[in-house]
Amino acid sequence: MLRRMQSPLRQATDVWMQEAAGMGRSSRLFPLPFLLLLFLLQPWAGTGAPRDLIGAVWGSVTFPLDIPAGKPVESIAWTSNGAVAMVIPGGRGNPPNIIITSQRYRGRLTVSKDYSLTISPLSLGDAGTYRADISTADNTTATSGTTNTTQFSLLVYELLAEPSVTVKSTESVNGSCTVTLTCSVAQGGDNVTFSWMPLGLETTVSPDGSVLSISRSPGDRVPGYICTATNPISGNSHTVPSDRILCADPVPEWAILAGPLSPVMWMVMAKGLLLLILLGVLATILTLKQPPP
């Protein structure tokens, strides 16, 4: 009677589970070098293009696995810039067992009955490429099965807070000016896009979308403007009311004629003022010393 041979990895995990149960060990850390060596001995199937997944900071993400029908799972090794976890069957009627091999994932990994892996809560540092090496048995032959590989590309983003908008304007010339609105968002990362509403002939948007320039003329009816910031998982907006879209006060004519003063001119003016004060004090003293008529 032929007996199906187990893969080296399955044999090793069975021995490890039996020894751990006999010794009453609660730790499920598997020796990483030994684990990787065993996987090098497995027959490998080709890998496909990574599947894209998106998650939010403090949210969760699930890596779905397509297990071939009629191929009992012997083990699943998860890696991402190093070993992450090992998943092995839990026995008839029991959920799979997960052996976490990286400290940074402790307390954040769960595995479902269909062997899908979930990370919760997510952090920005979880972004990257994940690989699941699925070792399955072959019930139709007396040899060990194959190892299929599934890869995922995980992107993690912040949930965007409400944007902030700064308002600046040029000096009014005959009642006309240009008002500039600059939109920004805290902790948005590099994948934030900005848009403005409403737009018209009097508005110009910067190439990155964050700056709106508004040309104002006397008698124009100025609406409020809305800046919307979005990233792949969220969006938020801020409204600038019309009473903030104002031209700066015009510069007085005397100030335009005087122009900017150099440090030397400021020094001369200060000395002149000081001289006038001294002359005033001297005149007061002389007036007080004169005898009354």
Domain residue spans of the chain? 51-157, 164-244
The packing angle between helices 8-23 and 32-40, to 10°, is 150
> Across the chain, what does the average pLDDT equal?
80
Hunting for tokens 């737009």 — which residue is that?
Answer: 199
- In the prediction, which pLDDT does 67 show? 85
Which of 110 and 286 is assigned the larger pLDDT? 110
**CA contacts within 13 A on the Cβ side of 282:** 6
Q: Is the pLDDT of residue 40 over 50?
A: no
Contact 130, 154 (CB under 8 A): yes
pLDDT at 197: 96
**In this prediction, what percent of the chain has a pLDDT beyond 70?**
74
In the prediction, which pLDDT does 29 show? 44
* Check whether domain 51-157 has CATH 2.60.40.10, yes or no: yes
Does pLDDT of 132 surpass 90? yes
More confident residue, 56 or 281: 56
Q: Do domains 51-157 and 164-244 have the same CATH topology?
A: yes
Instruction: Pull the structure tokens for residue 128.
Output: 């990257």
| Residue 261 confidence (pLDDT) | 59
Tell me the sheet residues that pair with 98. 87
Please, which pLDDT band fits residue 20 given cuts at 50, 70 and 90?
Answer: very low
Q: DSSP code of 224?
A: -
Residue 248 confidence (pLDDT): 79
Contact predicate 39/133, CB 8 Å: yes
Question: What is the predicted pLDDT for the residue at 203?
Answer: 94
| Range 164-244 classified under CATH 2.60.40.10 | yes
Supply the pLDDT for residue 38.
47
